[in-house]
Structure 1
Amino acid sequence: MQGDATDLAAAIRQGNLSAAEAMQASLAAAERQEPLGAIAYLHAAMGLASADARDRERQSEPDRFAARPFAGVPTLAKDLGGPFAGLPVTAGSRLFERKGGEADSDLAARFRDVGFCLFGLTTSPEFGLSLASEPAIGPVCRNPLDPARTAGGSSGGAAAAVAAGIVAIAHATDAGGSIRVPAACCGLVGMKPTRGAIPGGPSFGNHLAGIASELSVCRSVRDTALIFDGLSGNSRGPFADTSPVDIDNERLRIGLLSDTGAAYPTEGDRLAAVEDAARALENDGHVIVPLSWVEFESSVAASGRAFADIVSVNLAALIEAAALDESRAEPLTQAFAARGRALPATSLWNTLSDAVLVSHKLWALFDRVDCILMPMLSFAPLAIGSFPSDHADTDLHLERMTAFAPLACLANISGFPALTLAFGQDEHAMPLPVQIMAPMGHEPRLLSFAARLEAEGRWQHRFPVAGLPS
């Protein structure tokens, strides 16, 4: 597997390398991989100071150091979400200057508490509005598996940095597939948690009416489980903490969706990967329950409308509240803001009502099945430039994103958790990702199934983790 964050943390804990050495290795890898465009802002001094502090803690307070699951592990925050103190976020936009840096969000504080050493920000499209990470201000983020292709978006920089081994794990956000799509493009594990499971305070600047969540992109399921355990719970927001659920996996009903309809067809090799994953679980004694696209079609359409309306209105409100010079934004961003300003309140209200029905319909499906296997991407990661932002046609842009990942928004609008991982590779050696959804609060079940599929060994990382001893 060429290592993960758990391996790197163990090497640091055991004294095989120091946190400072791990940070120096990540900084060197970031310099070597600069043409990848994964990192939008690098703060080497911050990273080295954080690593030195962890090394001192290891000597002076070994028990406290050992209690941090990722003690000394270098990582990167996304240039959207957070914020993380000392890392000035611009959301991939020239509307903000890269200066100062806000105080830690609740989530950022937890990142530090579990031991991470931050040293920069990863590339995001302007305001996270794309499934590619190619902001006009740069850098253009490329897929380390094939630099001619996108690394996905909007957490594309995070995914590229992790897949390339610059870091073993990275902060990411997901409002419309933005953790899962880049993870799927780069052969990583990406999970969007249950709504409200991860803290969004104190400002809730990335709340987006509840559709956005933050976590990470990872090289393994065990890293995903470990970071979710370290960051989730007691979120102190508008949603109740989810209660632990029984993850008895002896004989469960696995819903299988192996069709995405005539409007958004998924290529055969990607559907075959989903079916192969279902067979692997069936061989363990689980029951496969075929599901049809017609059971999802109206919810997928409603989810797309909700995503479009919520991000448009949010962007219009942000520009007004911060008195930003909108004329300096990319043409597509300006068009989304104009769309938000033009949206009648009654239309937004109807959209939000429809979103509630999306959740209700999914609950009805989960009366019949315990989890659902489905495609993540319709086709392989597209060429750089396939999601341009130099135009004002928001409907065209939204249609392009839906065609690429038809089922991405469903988890965001419904609030249900979803996870993607690679389950093989195509003829061009690009990953064949699958997606698993489960009822709210059932992340343990998602992670259990994902670990079972990961154990098949159908995908291997191409690049080792910087600093990890062989």
Structure 2
Amino acid sequence: MQADATALAQAIAGGRTTSREAMQASLSASSAWESLGAVAYRDADKGLTAADAIDVLPGDVRHTLPFSGVPTLGKDLGGPFTGFPTTAGSRLMARRGGLVDSDLAKRFRAAGLCLFGLTTSPEFGLSLASEPAIGPIARNPLAPDLSPGGSSGGAAAAVAAGIVAIAHATDAGGSIRVPAACCGLVGLKPSRGLMPAGPHFGNHLGGIAAELVVTRSVRDTAAALAALSGNARGPFPPVEMQKQRDGRLRIGVLTDTGADHPTDATRQAVIEEAARALEATGHQLVPISFEAVHGMASASRRAFVDIVCLNLADTIARFDLDAGKTEPLTQAVIERGLSLSAQSLWQSLNAMVLVSRDLWRLFDDIDCLISPILSSAPCPVGSFPSDHRDTDLHFERMAAFAPLAAIANASGFPALTLPFGTDAAGLPLPVQLMAPMGADALLLQLAGLLEQDGRWQHRFPIAGWPA
């Protein structure tokens, strides 16, 4: 049996273990892994109460819940989840009270997931590492001197370490996919409009952001998407997830990553190996030059930077917050947002539209694009410091590490990353799959084929897994 959240839910529903036993194991694991810095906030009582509520349900009801009694963690950014106050990794936001459940949080609970805490995020999600000044510093369980990525780094570290089998995550510029890639997990940034955005109907950073999970298996991601998506109740037109497709698909293969943002040879080679694995299942390979996406990548990164800077500046001003309490880099991001002209913002927003247009044209000739997500192995802890005010340097570092991540956010197209083998140091070799708007099921279908190859094995067991 595959050890993942789906299997743990089946074990709980079938009586092989209980939700309380699984929750107690996750709580113990979170304490044992405290040095990992994955969990920023914990409420054991709420976790046990949620678990007990599952255990008293009739067996036939438990069997209807896709994640019946499975312990989970929210992210300290996004959501929110009632009773789990977020700080967004900042001393500006005191942990008191707790907001009303978002539509997504309600769906988490309805799916049987039992929340007991929040995972570490960088301050306001501004980094591809998860090292907020208020702590804790999230580390990669596969190599603790390395980062698990960001901004959902705490979530990825918790799942890779087995503290939980599934965790909430968000993605505005790669923040689901980069941590998943660093930690050997499956991470899907869903199509724009597929996930709920209520109850407050914020614009989710002009449409570049999405929420879902990081998991250990493609089937867990597919089950989470099925349980949490649809009837989006948000500011963007709802998108229906397309079904899986039969027949021969055209797989675009990014043949190189260009001189501007080179991917190391090992991580480029795994793209070609994964492509050949898909070809062996009957699909057609179509070489795609980096030049076909280089302009889209640059425009997407500019839009990401402008939107996150202006959004944060507006948030600070609208709620009359003291920007002086934030980290130096965050202060500089706020100032950059305040200085952004309307014309510059308009150019970035228009560029996003053109990225979508150009990406649709690319997909006239292919059904899916396979490419790198990271240019190198996970970075050492401290590679994305926030004790300086050079925003250009910071965002350039992010672009160099994940040069193609923001295209999916700017366009709204879905993108998924999963591991496909290991490098010489035993670290995961990830690949990214991207498909047209609404083709999330196609990504899951192809990811499932790659997963069957069995090139990646999780290193740590899931807490609460029945003996």
Per-residue deviation, 1:141: 0.3
Aligned to 1:103: 100
Q: CA separation in 2, counterparts of 1:93 and 1:254?
A: 42
Q: Deviations over 1:397-431 (max 9, x none)?
A: 00000100000101000000000000010011000
Q: CA separation in 1, counterparts of 2:464 and 2:47?
A: 14
Per-residue deviation, 1:347: 0.9
Cα 1:204–1:385 shift into 2, 3 Å: farther
Per-residue deviation, 1:68: 1.1
Letter in 1 for 2:121: S
TM-score (norm 2): 0.99
Q: Is the 8 A contact 2:192 2:239 kept in 1?
A: no
Q: Deviations over 1:261-280 (max 9, x none)?
A: 10110001101110000001
Letter in 2 for 1:191: L
Aligned to 1:382: 379
Per-residue deviation, 1:237: 1.8
2:89 aligned to which of 69, 88, 92: 92
1:303 aligned to which of 300, 303, 328: 300
Letter in 2 for 1:391: H
Aligned to 2:18: 18
Letter in 1 for 2:254: L
Q: CA separation in 2, counterparts of 1:237 and 1:182?
A: 26
Per-residue deviation, 1:283: 1.0
Aligned to 1:173: 170
Letter in 1 for 2:288: L
Per-residue deviation, 1:63: 3.1
SS for the counterpart of 2:144 is strand
Q: Is the 8 A contact 1:2 1:465 kept in 2?
A: no
Per-residue deviation, 1:236: 1.6
Aligned to 1:257: 254
Q: Is the 8 A contact 1:258 1:375 kept in 2?
A: no
Q: Identity over aligned residues, as a percent?
A: 63
Moved over 3 A (4+): none
> Which residues in structure 2 correspond to 1:137-176 (within 5 Å)?
137-176=134-173
Per-residue deviation, 1:196: 1.0
Per-residue deviation, 1:350: 1.1
Aligned to 2:118: 121
SS for the counterpart of 1:236 is coil
- Greater CA deviation, 383-392 or 2-11? 2-11
Question: How big is the alpha-carbon RMSD for the aligned residues of Structure 1 and Structure 2?
Answer: 1.0
Per-residue deviation, 1:65: 2.4
Aligned to 2:73: 76
SS for the counterpart of 1:423 is strand
1:182 aligned to which of 172, 179, 186: 179
> Which residues in structure 2 correspond to 1:291-330 (within 5 Å)?
291-330=288-327
SS for the counterpart of 1:450 is helix
Q: Aligned pair 1:9/2:9, yes or no?
A: yes
Per-residue deviation, 1:244: 4.3
Q: CA separation in 2, counterparts of 1:244 and 1:191?
A: 13
Q: CA separation in 2, counterparts of 1:29 and 1:458?
A: 26
SS for the counterpart of 2:56 is helix
SS for the counterpart of 1:170 is strand
> Which residues in structure 2 correspond to 1:208-247 (within 5 Å)?
208-247=205-244
Q: CA separation in 1, counterparts of 2:368 and 2:186?
A: 17
Per-residue deviation, 1:199: 0.3
Per-residue deviation, 1:5: 0.1
Where does the alignment leave 5 or more consecutive residues of structure 1 unmatched?
none
Aligned to 2:27: 27
Q: Is the 8 A contact 1:221 1:450 kept in 2?
A: yes
> Which residues in structure 2 correspond to 1:327-342 (within 5 Å)?
327-342=324-339
Letter in 2 for 1:17: T
Aligned to 1:468: 465
Cα 1:169–1:246 shift into 2, 3 Å: closer
SS for the counterpart of 1:301 is helix
Q: CA separation in 1, counterparts of 2:398 and 2:43?
A: 32
SS for the counterpart of 2:57 is helix
Q: CA separation in 2, counterparts of 1:321 and 1:170?
A: 31
Letter in 2 for 1:437: M
Per-residue deviation, 1:242: 2.0
Q: Deviations over 1:205-231 (max 9, x none)?
A: 471001000000000000000000000
- Greater CA deviation, 117-126 or 258-267? 258-267
SS for the counterpart of 1:172 is strand
Cα 1:121–1:244 shift into 2, 3 Å: closer
Per-residue deviation, 1:469: 1.4
Q: How many residues align?
A: 467
Q: CA separation in 2, counterparts of 1:246 and 1:33?
A: 39
Q: Deviations over 1:240-262 (max 9, x none)?
A: 22234353232110000031110
> Which residues in structure 2 correspond to 1:34-49 (within 5 Å)?
34-49=34-49
> Which residues in structure 2 correspond to 1:365-380 (within 5 Å)?
365-380=362-377
SS for the counterpart of 2:236 is coil
Q: CA separation in 1, counterparts of 2:330 and 2:67?
A: 37
Per-residue deviation, 1:71: 1.1
Q: Aligned pair 1:351/2:348, yes or no?
A: yes
Cα 1:249–1:272 shift into 2, 3 Å: farther
Q: Aligned pair 1:419/2:455, yes or no?
A: no
Letter in 2 for 1:207: H
Q: Is the 8 A contact 2:197 2:235 kept in 1?
A: no
SS for the counterpart of 2:380 is coil
Q: CA separation in 1, counterparts of 2:203 and 2:401?
A: 24
Q: Aligned pair 1:361/2:358, yes or no?
A: yes
Per-residue deviation, 1:203: 1.6
Q: Is the 8 A contact 1:2 1:464 kept in 2?
A: no
Q: Is the 8 A contact 1:81 1:206 kept in 2?
A: no
SS for the counterpart of 1:434 is strand
Letter in 1 for 2:373: M
Q: Deviations over 1:429-470 (max 9, x none)?
A: 000000000001111110000000000000000000001113
Cα 1:202–1:128 shift into 2, 3 Å: same
Per-residue deviation, 1:130: 0.2
TM-score (norm 1): 0.98
